[in-house]
Chains A and B, each alone.
Chain A
Amino acid sequence: MTDITRMTATQIAELVASGETSAVEVTRAHLDRIAAVDGQVNAFLHVDSEGALAAAREVDARRSAGEELGPLAGVPVAVKDVLTTKGVPTTVGSKILEGWRPPYDSTIVQRLRAAGTVMLGKTNMDEFAMGSSTEYSAYGPTRNPWDTDRIPGGSGGGSAAALAAYEAPLAIGSDTGGSIRQPGAVTGTVGAKPTYGGTSRYGLVAFSSSLDTPGPCARTVLDAALLHEAIGGHDPRDSTSIPAPVPDVVAAAKLGATGDLSGVRLGIVSEFAGEGAEPGVLAAFHEAVDTLTKLGAEIVEVSCPHFRYALPAYYLIAPSECSSNLARFDGVRFGLRVGDDGNRSLEEVMSLTREAGFGAEVKRRIMIGTYALSSGYYDAYYGQAQKVRTLITRDFTAAFERVDALISPTTPFVAFPLGARTSDPYQMYLADLFTIPTNLYGGPGISVPCGLSDGLPVGLQVMAPTMADDRMYRVAAALESAVGTLTPPQL
């Protein structure tokens, strides 16, 4: 039999359902793979072998009992460490939550369990999802399986690298400014950010509440769609969750896989077509545009004039919300507590805990956000940024009157070497130049591999109107059918 770890989720589920292999065998194969290669990759912060095998045995038992299994039953999944997992450590890549075992499961994880998937463990990330390289993890960087001297993107570099290193066929990420899509692009995998409110944030440790969106990561568009369907849909415990059915993303991915895009009108965002991106990225993107044309899509250029203000607006809104969201990490109720020697005041203990527990980038954003919300500055910063957000939403709405979906490179550059951008925050922030507008608007976006530049993967981003997530899956699947999946060199 071929190596299970090289299979897609769809293939694994079929084998488990038919009884050709067991969920336990599948799980063991992936645990073995993790044991073999994760020393080089550092995709996982915590591997829950026991929990995974128990879940796999349950799937096998249900199958033996003749129960109907879901389309992802027995498929292993890696979960970004930003989602709470009952009894399983959840650190958000931060020292401040080291050793915390949540007393409850996030909605996403509950749904993963209900779907019969097998959670292998928790994946590495930039601390509190703030970063684009996973170098800001308090537990060491994750390395890109394509070149272990390079970054795997971020903040969800662990989830993307786990896929590219064949440690898991499926993974969960969260996307606040591009944290699913940009790692997907630089690791040659598929990452989808659903419509904001299309996936529940309950149990997602908040970075920026109005932007955070959990979503699926996979090696194929269809796998991503299956995972999206399993985790998506209304959750009464998240007030911002949309009370509507999940768009039929699986059907759309299957339709797209036929390679026919006739009648589909795609817009190239002119503001993103030339500016800021590396030549190799642009070349791969334009080649993909040609491919999409050949598949029958009509390509037009669309101007979104306010997208140029997206980055600055994002770096006011996200830090503002984070400065408030992260206030609860004070050593009183959970996680790290520093300096509680019986002599220090409560304020001192809180202060020492936060000083020791947060990394530099997190502190930077808390400071920026605190400043932007402070009395006398609110209107000039947070207030203005919200206005920009409205203008960007208008740009999207106007564009979607003309086209079905927008396309751009996912990120301006391929995977860069470790350490190349850590000394200059702005250079790091540029990684999300093309992904941030979608978050500000709240619509869905997907990154799909579109080619290589100097042997490193390049991703194409498809952006769709809110609650039209199916459209981007169709386009992405069509491109995938022409380009094929990308296979990294052996580790």
Chain B
Amino acid sequence: MTTTLPAYDEVVARYEPVIGLETHVELGTNTKMWCGCPTDFGGEPNTRVCPVCLGLPGSLPVANKAAIEATIRIGLALNCSIAQWCRFARKNYFYPDMPKNFQISQYDEPLCFDGYLDVEVNGETVRIGIERVHLEEDTGKTLHVGGATGRIHGATESLVDYNRAGIPLVEIVTKPIPGTGALAPEVARAYVTELRDVLRSLGVSDVRMEEGSLRCDVNTSLNLPGEEWGTRTETKNVNSLRSVERAVRSEMLRQASVLDAGGRITQETRHFHEDTGDTTPGRSKETATDYRYFPEPDLVPLAPDPAWVAELKAALPELPRLHRRRLQQAWGLSDADMQSVLNAGAVELIEETVAAGATPAAARKWWLGELSRRANETGVELAEVGATPAQVAELQGLVDAGKLNDKLARAVLEGVVAGEGSPTEIMGARGLEVVSDTGALTAAVDEAIAANPEIAEKIRSGKVAAAGALVGAVMKTTRGQADAKTVRELILTRLS
């Protein structure tokens, strides 16, 4: 079926979108949620398992205190109330990657609830309501082998890896977000970005969307102005920040085309496809499983000590938004300049470079200039470009000490990115140091004077401006390594 999608501005002129986001975060605890198995990524299948996370008969869960602490800290960072008493609940459904055929989760008694997160979009602050933050366990991974599709139907064998089963997972659910109009896709992206930064600042997860430690489901609905909210769809498989924005936009366009044609939206799960930017239908919610939630009888209720919660609150790190504001002031940047630092993903890199001794201006120059250019060329994140903040600070130190000029510094940086060593090592190994030793330069100056008698004569007769040409000649023979100022002084002394 081919449908022509309406134009985006027409859609937002006719309809009002309501969005909502459900984010799953794998916590970076050392051990799993209910057992002592390690959580490290990438082990051979089924090597990070025990009777508990395999759900063997007789095994029992014991809650991981570090995971509870991390969840409370997330809740506090998102301005939530922390439950004084709450329980885990069983979510029952049959699926082979769930060892017990139920997931231990939380239902009507989440650990954290009723908070908010402020995000900035186009210089405006949008307050996103947080419905709940709760703790649950991750599932294993099923691999369907054989068959053409790699899907469960048609596969000849299904293999399950339980290494991931039982890793603590935090679910963060927003309240419905109405009133964002045309900005809905950007608001969604800004929220997930800000949330990711908050989680990173808390140090509770490595928040890598591509590895699945941060996963996002996006709810979208459209309604006519003044009417009730429309039926929503839930888009899954949204695995990057860019995809969050694209998924909302794509779903808004699709729903508008259905509504324009007089159709109705089915409440369903849809899958986002990175390659096409489209969503396709998954399971219909109208025939969804009854999860038969009930309080988990194998675990005692959680009753976090209010004094402990207060301690955790007092010890929260400065949150990214406030932190950024403070940095902007310290670095003396305009809003626009700060925005370009943010867009480049360079805040922490500049911060660490400054901490390693560089001035904010110099640090920003390197990260937003040469290094951003290289990152763009090679298609990697700035943080993965190959240079560390400490190396950049060291490089700038060499410039400040007069040992490198701008051109030489860029050559040294090339070596750093190529992994040849520290800036000082590369400078030595490649012989890139500025030559300011007058003895070594005198010969080059004399050579230049001898080769350009006419220019030399002009200088002797008082036309000092002509010295530039001789400096250029010396720089050429010394391959740029001479200190231009020293060269100029030598020429003038020789010809005075």
Do residues B94 and A104 form an inter-chain contact, with CB atoms below 8 A?
Answer: no
Give Cα A320 to B292, complex, Å.
9
Do residues B298 and A239 form an inter-chain contact, with CB atoms below 8 A?
Answer: yes
Q: Which of B92, B158, B298 contacts A209 (CB 8 A)?
A: B298
Residue A202 interfacial (CB < 8 Å) = yes
Do residues B298 and A240 form an inter-chain contact, with CB atoms below 8 A?
Answer: yes
Q: Report A336-361 CB contacts with B as 1/0, cut-off 8 Å.
A: 00000010011100100000000000
Q: Which residues of A contact B (CB under 8 A)?
A: 83-84, 90, 92, 97, 100, 102-104, 106, 201-206, 208-210, 236-240, 320-321, 323-324, 327-330, 332-334, 342, 345-347, 350, 370, 373-375, 378, 382
Do residues A103 and B51 form an inter-chain contact, with CB atoms below 8 A?
Answer: yes
Contacts of B72 in A (CB 8 A): none
Residue of A at shortest CB range from B292? Answer: A373
Residue of A at shortest CB range from B88? Answer: A239
Do residues B58 and A204 form an inter-chain contact, with CB atoms below 8 A?
Answer: yes
Residue B492 interfacial (CB < 8 Å) = no
If A103-B51, A239-B298, A330-B101 touch, whether A205 touches B90 (CB-CB below 8 Å) is no
| Sample of 4 more A-B contacts, CB < 8 Å, known A102-B56, A106-B58, A329-B57 | A83-B58, A203-B59, A239-B61, A324-B292
Contacts of A347 in B (CB 8 A): 94
Within 8 A of A (CB), among B264-316: 290, 292-294, 297-300
Residue of A at shortest CB range from B91? Answer: A324
Give Cα A439 to B470, complex, Å.
101
Q: Which of A239, A327, A342 contacts B101 (CB 8 A)?
A: A327
Residue of B at shortest CB range from A83? Answer: B58
What distance in Å separates the Cβ of B485 from its nearest Cβ neighbour in chain A?
73
Contacts of B299 in A (CB 8 A): 239-240
Do residues B300 and A346 form an inter-chain contact, with CB atoms below 8 A?
Answer: no
Q: DSSP class of A's interface residues: helix, strand, loop or mixed?
A: loop
Residue B152 interfacial (CB < 8 Å) = yes
Do residues A102 and B57 form an inter-chain contact, with CB atoms below 8 A?
Answer: yes
Residue of A at shortest CB range from B96? Answer: A332
Give Cα A324 to B411, complex, Å.
66
Residue B450 interfacial (CB < 8 Å) = no
Give Cα A92 to B101, complex, Å.
19
Could you list 21 A-B pairs, sorted by A, with CB under 8 Å?
A100-B57, A102-B56, A103-B56, A104-B59, A106-B58, A202-B59, A203-B59, A205-B57, A209-B297, A238-B62, A239-B61, A323-B92, A324-B92, A324-B292, A328-B57, A332-B96, A334-B57, A342-B156, A370-B292, A373-B294, A378-B294
Residue of A at shortest CB range from B300? Answer: A239
Q: Which of B58, B102, B294 contacts A205 (CB 8 A)?
A: B58
Give Cα A204 to B298, complex, Å.
12
Contacts of A97 in B (CB 8 A): 57
What distance in Å separates the Cβ of B479 from its nearest Cβ neighbour in chain A?
69
Give Cα A334 to B160, complex, Å.
13
Residue B342 interfacial (CB < 8 Å) = no
Q: Which of A324, A334, A342 contacts B56 (CB 8 A)?
A: A334
If A239-B62, A328-B101, A330-B94 touch, whether A382 touches B57 (CB-CB below 8 Å) is no
Give the most central of B63, B100, B153: most A CB within 10 Å: B100
What distance in Å separates the Cβ of B88 from its nearest Cβ neighbour in chain A?
10
Give Cα A377 to B54, complex, Å.
31
What distance in Å separates the Cβ of A109 from its nearest Cβ neighbour in chain B?
10
Contacts of A346 in B (CB 8 A): 96, 152, 158
Residue B397 interfacial (CB < 8 Å) = no
If A237-B62, A324-B292 touch, whether A92 touches B102 (CB-CB below 8 Å) is no
Give Cα A209 to B290, complex, Å.
21
Contacts of A382 in B (CB 8 A): 294
Q: Which of A83, A90, A103, A239 contacts B60 (CB 8 A)?
A: A239
Contacts of A106 in B (CB 8 A): 58
Q: Which of A83, A90, A236, A342 contacts B62 (CB 8 A)?
A: A236
What distance in Å separates the Cβ of A422 from its nearest Cβ neighbour in chain B?
26
Contacts of A239 in B (CB 8 A): 60-63, 298-300
Within 8 A of A (CB), among B57-104: 57-63, 90, 92, 94, 96, 99-102
What distance in Å separates the Cβ of B64 from its nearest Cβ neighbour in chain A?
11
Residue B55 interfacial (CB < 8 Å) = yes
Contacts of A202 in B (CB 8 A): 58-60
Contacts of A324 in B (CB 8 A): 90, 92, 102, 292, 294
Q: Report B34-61 CB contacts with A as 1/0, cut-off 8 Å.
A: 0000000000000000010011111111
Do residues A330 and B96 form an inter-chain contact, with CB atoms below 8 A?
Answer: yes
If A202-B60, A204-B58, A334-B56 touch, whether A240 touches B294 (CB-CB below 8 Å) is no
Give Cα A402 to B54, complex, Å.
47
What distance in Å separates the Cβ of A86 from its nearest Cβ neighbour in chain B?
10
Do residues A238 and B56 form an inter-chain contact, with CB atoms below 8 A?
Answer: no
Residue of A at shortest CB range from B62? Answer: A239
Q: Which of A103, A104, A327 contacts B102 (CB 8 A)?
A: A327
Give Cα A206 to B101, complex, Å.
14
Contacts of A330 in B (CB 8 A): 94, 96, 101
What distance in Å separates the Cβ of A387 from its nearest Cβ neighbour in chain B?
14
If A240-B300, A327-B102 touch, whether A84 touches B58 (CB-CB below 8 Å) is yes
Do residues B94 and A327 form an inter-chain contact, with CB atoms below 8 A?
Answer: yes
Contacts of A321 in B (CB 8 A): 294, 297
Give Cα A321 to B90, complex, Å.
10
Q: Which are the 5 A-B pairs with shortest beta-carbon distances?
A: A327-B101, A209-B297, A373-B292, A210-B297, A203-B58
Q: Which of B61, B62, B99, B292 contacts A333 (CB 8 A)?
A: B99
What distance in Å separates the Cβ of B160 from its nearest Cβ neighbour in chain A?
7
Contacts of B158 in A (CB 8 A): 346
Contacts of A240 in B (CB 8 A): 297-300
What distance in Å separates the Cβ of B85 from its nearest Cβ neighbour in chain A?
15
Contacts of B61 in A (CB 8 A): 239
Give Cα A444 to B290, complex, Å.
36
Do residues A374 and B292 form an inter-chain contact, with CB atoms below 8 A?
Answer: yes
Give Cα A19 to B294, complex, Å.
55
Give the most central of B56, B63, B300: most A CB within 10 Å: B56
Give Cα A378 to B90, complex, Å.
14
Contacts of A205 in B (CB 8 A): 57-58
What distance in Å separates the Cβ of A224 from its nearest Cβ neighbour in chain B?
23
Do residues B56 and A373 form an inter-chain contact, with CB atoms below 8 A?
Answer: no
Give Cα A373 to B61, complex, Å.
22
Residue of A at shortest CB range from B63? Answer: A239
Contacts of A206 in B (CB 8 A): 57-58, 298
Contacts of B160 in A (CB 8 A): 332
Within 8 A of A (CB), among B225-259: none
Give Cα A373 to B91, complex, Å.
11
Contacts of B153 in A (CB 8 A): 345
Do residues B101 and A333 form an inter-chain contact, with CB atoms below 8 A?
Answer: no
Give the most central of A104, A203, A239, A374: most B CB within 10 Å: A239
Contacts of A323 in B (CB 8 A): 92, 292
Give the most central of B58, B102, B152: most A CB within 10 Å: B58
If A324-B102, A328-B101, A330-B94 touch, whether A201 touches B57 (CB-CB below 8 Å) is no
Do residues B290 and A374 form an inter-chain contact, with CB atoms below 8 A?
Answer: yes
Give Cα A266 to B71, complex, Å.
49
Residue of A at shortest CB range from B51? Answer: A104
Contacts of B60 in A (CB 8 A): 201-202, 237-239
Residue of B at shortest CB range from A103? Answer: B51
Q: Which of A238, A320, A328 contacts B294 (CB 8 A)?
A: A320
Give Cα A122 to B473, complex, Å.
97
Give Cα A240 to B300, complex, Å.
6
What distance in Å separates the Cβ of B494 from its nearest Cβ neighbour in chain A?
86
Give Cα A328 to B294, complex, Å.
17
Contacts of B297 in A (CB 8 A): 208-210, 240, 321
If A240-B300, A330-B94 touch, whether A102 touches B292 (CB-CB below 8 Å) is no
